[in-house]
Amino acid sequence: MHRQLAEFTVPARPAPIAIDRARCAVVVVDMQNDFGADGGMFHRAGIDIAPITAAVAHTAGVLGAARAAGIPVIYLQMQHKPDLADMGQADSPHRQRHARLSVGETSLAPDGTPYRILVAGEWGTQIVAALAPQPGDILVPKHRFSGFFETGLNTILQGLDAKFLIVTGCTTSICVESTIRDAMFRDYHCILLEDCTGEPIGNSNSRSNHDASILTIETLLGWVSDSQGFIRALAK
């Protein structure tokens, strides 16, 4: 049997893209408390989380529309094992840079409960409340910037027969762009929703890292659209 296409066309840069609904998935990158909530790792380190929190409401609308249309939702969660064995050797760049953010150390969640920063199963690695996973959603833990590095993401996408990835999350120039790059190398078509992502790095500059990543993605790595463009196209 030949499966009938259920195509919808999303307005995007550099050009509109026709998406087969049956081969589409939404990927939510690292929208978790340690990055996007008051009292989380970023907030306590003095990093401006406003660009991330601004993306939450737009992302919630996208997830609602996707679930209503039967499109799978996949959450990536940045986290490390309790013994931090998956952070690399003591001199690895990943471990060194994250040590500055006190990964693995004990902090207090907003309700006063102790938790270990960026450690699996703790408050900081839970998805922010406004985007909480629903029954049927898929959660994929990761321990590096890319969602494909030493994870089951590619196998999951292959099992879904996915080709088109609607990408949201944080941060734009780090985990989001890293995941999109690796997806492109595996021949996935990635559509980043511009208002569903945020980047603190360079946010105070006239042209930020967010802007640079958007330009890179729309030029070489995929397509760039926004939440309303996706929602309206899906509704048609």
Active site amino acids = 30, 142, 175
Nearest to 30 by CA among 111, 118, 114, 109: 118
Q: Evaluate whether 191 touches 223 at the Cβ level (below 8 Å).
A: yes
Contact criterion met (CB below 8 Å) for 196 and 55? yes
Distances (CA, A) of 121 to 77, 90, 115, 177, 220: 10, 23, 9, 25, 36
CA-based R_g, the chain, Å: 17
Around Cβ 144, how many Cβ atoms within 10 Å? 16
Our measurement of the distance from residue 65's CA atom to the centroid of its chain's CA atoms, rounded to an integer in Å, reads: 17
